[in-house]
Amino acid sequence: MNDLRDKYIGLIAAAGDESTLEDLRVQAVGKKGEISLLMRELGKMSPEERQTAGPALNALKDEINSALSAKKAALEDAALDERLRGEWLDVTLPGRPRRMGTIHPISQVTEEVTAIFADMGFSVAEGPQIDTDWYNFDALNIPGHHPARAEMDTFYMHRAEGDNRPPHVLRTHTSPVQIRSMEKTGAPIRVIAPGRVYRADYDQTHTPMFHQVEGLAIDKDISMANLKWVLEEFVKAYFEVDDVELRFRASHFPFTEPSAEVDIRCSWEGGTLKVGEGDDWLEILGSGMVHPKVLQNAGVDPSEWQGFAFGMGIDRIAMLKYGIPDLRAFFDSDLRWLRHYGFAALDVPTLHAGLS
């Protein structure tokens, strides 16, 4: 019995996992285990022998059973410790932010402008970036000989010889979307059209591709006063100031009559731009009452309908609001620049939650 005890206590102590332990249990105290077989021998013993051997065997069986269950509990504890070591997490460590990229200032400003005009009842219209001469010029009352065509440094699309389709251009402004929108829905209409435009020009304040937003509001009795109010509301909301002074300067565009360019009061003191104060004026857009010929070209009866239009440079107002000195940086795709000027991807500009 002592040999058996030493053997099994040793084996149990050395067991490395629960299935080894289970094998040992079967070998020692299972139905046909060594100790169970010894117990069967008790019947063949004399009563005196039995009196000492019986309790001793029972004690041995108990000892082995409790060694087995103690070892089982120890193995389970060790397995749990092992798992906890692997799954351990230090919640006091700083988080690891994932670089998600940022929203480009042009996209941000386009969203801001859209949110402001949407609040005033304007919906968003679109047109193609490659458009015909007709939509980009003629329909807007800019005939072939008009100096405005030359001024715009237009990119003309190449046509193969014998291809007699009408000439196409990269649109030089978003104004052709006025024509397309009125053709589509007629009057009354209230839309803005943000998008890319193209001109062959390149320096600190000009890039061959840039962005404009067109505005158009046609109804029975829309006047310059409505234009002025809408633009004032826009500028206040966009620059996030309570008060702003606008200056309407008489100007000329073939597609509006009368026409005005609009400047905002600002100061450049200390090299930073402040909107709404100071003695400087800064031009931000062109506008006017839509020319009767333009309405007519778009299928809207000018004896019944009238309204205003405006065209604004998105890149320009982005530079102004966010203090970006060189327009060309917008198109360099420099990640460091984007991280500096970019906007969080999930911060969608709205009027109630704040634009920027």
Residue ranges that bind ligand DAH, judged by CB under 6 A: 173, 175, 214, 253, 256, 286-288, 309-311
CB of 259 to ligand DAH, least distance (A): 6
Distance CA 4, CA 96 (A): 59
**What's the CA angle centered on 189, arms 184 and 191, to 5 degrees?**
90
Both tokens assigned to 99: 């670089």
CA within 13 Å, CB half, 121: 7
Rounded distance, CA 345 to CA 111, Å? Answer: 12
Closest-approach residue to ligand DAH (CB): 311
Indicate the residue among 239 and 253 with the shorter CB distance to ligand DAH: 253
Give dist(CA 226, CA 242) in Å, integer: 19
**Cβ nearer to ligand DAH, comparing 33 with 288:** 288
First to last CA, the chain: 86
Select 27 or 114, whichever has its Cβ closest to ligand DAH: 114
Cα angle for residues 32, 75, 73 (degrees, 5° grid) = 75
- DSSP one-letter code for 103: B
Strand pairing partners for 260? 250, 287
Rounded least distance, CB 173 to ligand DAH, Å: 3
Residue 193 vs 329, nearer CB to ligand DAH: 193
CB of 111 to ligand DAH, least distance (A): 21
Residue with smaller CB distance to ligand DAH, 195 or 288: 288
Q: Nearest approach, Cβ of 256 to ligand DAH (angstroms)?
A: 4
- Nearest approach in angstroms of CB 306 to ligand DAH is 13
